[in-house]
Amino acid sequence: MSLPTARKIKSKEELKKVLAAAREDNHNMPTPTHVIEKDGKIVGCWGLGNIPLVSVWHKEGSLGIRDSLNLNCTTKSIKYDRGHGIFIIACNENSPYMPFMEKVGYEPVWKTNLLLSK
């Protein structure tokens, strides 16, 4: 058995194969940049630095619905101005915003925890 290798995805056709392999394994990888192969087979992928991450804190009870909607539009405008068509926004499952995220245009990717390297 060989060791796994990781390399940049080279073409749209290869990207389609990587996305299909992830879906077949019940994983949603929205924007992979690198394919992981072992013994000639696709066994994973990475999305390295290709999607900006937005983290937000609003003091609980300090902003109303209109304030939040306005700030959401502002965040999107800044990201689009910087050339990012998509981005990930971190939202704690206990956040009062969570029940409304899909209604204002965010699509769940998968349940996960964000971990900061030290």
- Tell me the per-residue pLDDT of 18-75, one tens digit each, with 9 for 90 and over: 999 999 999 888 889 999 999 999 999 999 988 888 888 888 889 988 998 899 889 8
According to DSSP, residue 11 is labeled: S
Contact present, 4 and 38 (Cβ < 8 Å)? yes
- Nearest CA among 42, 56, 59 for reference residue 88: 56
pLDDT at 1 over 80: no
Classify 49 in phi/psi space as left (phi over 0), alpha (psi -120 to 50) or beta: left
Question: Where do the domains of the chain lie?
Answer: 5-46, 53-104
Return the amino acid letter for 13.
Answer: E
pLDDT tens digits for 73-86? 898 899 889 888 88
Q: pTM higher than 0.95 for the full model?
A: no
| 67 to 4, 38, 70: CA distances (angstroms) | 48, 50, 5
What pLDDT was estimated at residue 84? 83
For the cut 90, the answer to whether the pLDDT of residue 111 exceeds it is: no
